[in-house]
Amino acid sequence: MKIEVCEISTNEKPLIQNLLQFYEYEFSVYEEDDVDENGDFEIADVDEYFDIDEYTPLLVKVAGQAAGFVIVNSDPNAPNGRFLIEEFFIMKRFQQQGIGQEVARQVFDMFGQDWVVRVINENLKGQSFWQKAIDNYTGGAFSVEVFNDASWEGPIYTFSKLDF
């Protein structure tokens, strides 16, 4: 099964906009989000992902079919290139098959050496996924710190490619 991660062109904004609805649907269990009068979830302004240089929107394809997306956020002030997984979504149909692990690996390989992955406290499934994905990628050379303050509530995983 061919798994591709590629940058999204601006003419594919509607695709990401639609996939964000599914992402918000799955995430609504953690944040108790409701739909509006049209049945849509309020989502982030997808234009930001294309207009702000620090964001890189990526499309995930499995066997040529759209299967999810990843939004990577870069810190231009970090000397070695620090990157953050801003959003990570794999459609349910493609979950529990190792696809997310492969997508994470490809994304980590695409960008700089220092990484940050944050997961909210309530998302235990996400915590388990990222613990495993980062452990597999780094061979255990990562750290995790749990925050519970105004800036963040949940684990933050960090690693540098220089450490493994």
Residue 30 lies in a domain: no
Of residues 115 and 77, the one with the higher pLDDT is 115
pLDDT band at 43 (very low <50, low <70, confident <90, very high): confident
Instruction: Find out whether 55 and 7 touch, Cβ atoms under 8 Å.
Output: no
Residue 77 DSSP symbol: T
Please determine, for residue 31, whether its predicted confidence score (pLDDT) is greater than 80.
no
Bin 64: left if φ > 0, else alpha if -120 < ψ < 50, else beta: left
Q: Identify the three-state secondary structure at position 98.
A: coil
Residue 85 sits in which domain range? 3-7+54-163
Residue 74 lies in a domain: yes
SS (H, E, C) 55-75: EEEEEEEECCEEEEEEEEEEE
CA angle 68, 10, 44 (to 5 degrees): 60
Residue 136 lies in a domain: yes
pTM metric for this prediction: 0.92
Distances from the Cα of 60 to the Cαs of 44, 69, 112, in angstroms?
Answer: 19, 5, 19
Residue 46 lies in a domain: no
Instruction: Check residue 139 and give its pLDDT.
Output: 97
User: Could you give the number of structural domains in the chain?
Assistant: 1
CATH code for position 75: 3.40.630.30
Average model confidence (pLDDT) across the chain: 92
Residue 21 lies in a domain: no
Instruction: Find out whether 108 and 160 touch, Cβ atoms under 8 Å.
Output: no
Residue 22 lies in a domain: no
Mean of pLDDT values over 132-158: 96
Residue 122 lies in a domain: yes
Residue 151 lies in a domain: yes
